[in-house]
Structure 1
């Protein structure tokens, strides 16, 4: 039987609608890679860091991955296809256009970590071929959709830590059968954990949330610390920790008690008032008598009132007996000398362990009785300068979160660090062990840190930091770090916290590295940002920290020395400072390296520009995103020494030429004088931009080496 004309027309109409509906998708899929990247860029705010994302007449319709195409920052290519986007730490905001990402059939990895994205989590679950998503350190909020993991069977790594996500963890995670790493820590997730984890899961972290209930048996293969800082999440319910909230009941009980107490107080007052009125026949009441009644009421409070703590309990007036962040505050403020030591301090007085006796032998009581001032605070805690009765000045650091190792392992490591001897290291003098807090004692270095000299008040010390002196500092830092990479080769990262705040300057400007060798002692789950090595790109992308993270840190310090700029990499929120890695890499690639250098040294040492450029190249090689392309520490140190030796030879040649020409002032001396004059005359901006100024006002760690 032939179909009726009406039915045939209806089928044609349905087919036409289907074709029309598919046209937008087809158009989207037909976008070139360059067009898709430009569409993605349009969805961002503050995208100036992606200035290399542009379609030039030279490139035409070529893919960013085509041979000869200009570099598109953060775009990873494999066999001519876009396979990854590494856009972490670029201060990007706005939204993330998932439709544009869907235009890349070969896309396997995206990293938007440490940016300023906010709002609901983008629909990344539509990108079913993705293997890695790194979205840490943003402000994504709201809940994860229940079906988020349903079609992500290829996903291996998902990092959502350090956001503001809430709601429950979707049970659909079990459908992500290839998932190896899932990091959800430092959010606001609530509810219970799913019954079972994904079958292939190897790395898991939900610490720092608001989860409750009992940890399911299938999750107990992970370390207990991965579940920490969840008040109502536990392994076994007990009377003290029932694993369940009782807020509603508790609040109701408090309200009942408060109402009852209020009524009872009112009744007592009314009774007293009525009794007073009835006992006085006259309408005129004696005021003194009434006052006596009221005084009696104050002296004998009702028994149901909370009894205040006794004022006879001993209080410590010792600065060391107070918690960090107490009334001492921050900055240079004197603390009173300790007249008495509380009972706890007295019991601990003999527990100071000397590991380096170059400043003599002293005890905890000597420190507690010392006049002290706060000189800074950082990721590990606060630091104090303490001048003991014998005149010896030391720095005492109150370190938190150094509880990764056992007490025996901690003591063995401190003795090892204290015994180290190198011209560019400042080892600890002593330590005091407490379970929740450790005290580390160092020699006090008056000149302070390289960070302070470069970015502080810019006085005489900054004026003395000319080109030869900066070479000396660079060589000393490289030598000290290279020594650590030999002496502590067994550590996952030998220094671990190399930054200009942890480079102190001796009176002759010889650099002294502090706070090294702590990688095995610090609990990075509790204090993830306390060590600068963990901000290397590979660590942000989720890989374990390794020795080449120190090389990245060395590169940042070299860039800081050469540019005189405050690195944005030192700031947790990346607001302020200068992204030295991006700036230096782009300028070197474009041939504008001269714009990078600190005007204070360029103006007075113009002949040294080729040497400055060679040292800048070493720094840029040290901060490469791909750690395989970075030199190891031994090679990096050798290159720094080689450049410095050649540069100083050039300085000496210029000096000899000036002397031979009968100059009244040697070339070196003239350069030093003009450098000092440059600083003195205020030709340099005291602080380079508003972002740096505001960031430094909120920073307390640059006056001395504070972790």
Structure 2
């Protein structure tokens, strides 16, 4: 009986150990309840929609630890949170390391139960309307690396106890109402510091004098290095104007001679002149040496800018970049899949993907691994309101064959767009890149797939009353299965009539060269050029088309007119059999699209229908010949590719 009991106990222990040692995939139940309580008690826009029926670790803005046992990071920047932070909600996330509520409209004091977040490393609350004195309980969060309370309504003094935060690398308190003297904060690991635009007074502590003057500007009563030196508190007494200067009298002479009096007067005058001259020169020298108050730089993706030079930079480089929270706002569209904020984007490593006619595109890899494309626009002439209205229209376009616009940023000096990253690259790179011996040709089925999916994307834009305006092979992006999506759509209204005439060279409809105004019909023309590019394998601005200055549509027409139709098609297509008729059909559709008369071009919806009819006809033929090998001739042998002479094509006007 004892043996049986011991065996049972051993079995239970082994079972428990096995269970405890297995993979853990638990739900952070307590953290989930705290988050739901916070969201239910805080007014907010509909950008945050947490589904209580799924794990909190899948929610927007939430990152859990590897075992999904607690919430590691909470980032809700610019999501329209309004009012005070309810107590007993976020303060219950005791395992939290990163908290970002920046660029919302939160107000009132910060809840004191934030003091429970003892593991917090980064706290970003800038760009809100928080008020009250500096929360002294913050000085107990000794693991803080970065603390940003800038652009709020805090008042009172900055406590000396802030020196307890010995792990701080960044402290940002600018654009508040802090007053009194600046405490002597040990520099320690502090690499970024800003208290500009407050009401501080007194001298700058020596431990903080290493930071630039811009870190202290806007405090009228603050002085000392790196600002101008402070005036002495007790200036030396000056003699009363009523009392004559004491002049030593020679005991042997009761009265000075006239010559002595004149010498004394001249000497005094010279001494006074020299003193004034020295004072003037010192002031002039000081003005030259004193750095001018730098203008507040625009918020830019420094890592994106640095990518042009093959480098990256950190968030520290753009500290204090804006006094207005609205300028710091990265605006996301509803239903987005990303939870990062502008600060994350600034820290991202980046590389240049290409410089196009509307701006430069960068591949940005964020710290948590998310990859996006950031387009930095140039020559934008519209106002902020007009820009936002255009973005609102473009952000609503949702289609499998349209690269979604996820977010945008507007400031005086920077206009940024954020798109999904398409890992397979562009049609231009696939079609024209590396045509050496080791190249895998782009087969006919994939070319047809790309043509049809791109046509569907452009047609979707036209249904939504959006003119693409910049159709070219580098703006047709691919997925690994070669399904295509169009990008860079609808941006022409941002540039006005100043659009340079060389934009979209080779793809422009004839009427656009004169009017510089894109239309739905000019989009059809550009897509027709794109189809010719797929058929011929030639770039539309290629100089070797036969004669200098000729464009791709005219080159194709000239070849077809001479009945050399076979010479039109890409040599890489010649190795595939039984596709000649389909190539000619697509060529006929393309030639209709590039008609010089806009009214003779079909609508994009009609182009989609014609390409789909080609696919259906191909499917029907395959079904009818299902018992035969379509690659074989009537004698069972594979015919030579040269023998497949395509039928003639009638050139369009």
The TM-score normalised by the length of structure 1 is 0.45
Whichever of the two has the greater Rg, that structure is 2
The TM-score normalised by the length of structure 2 is 0.48
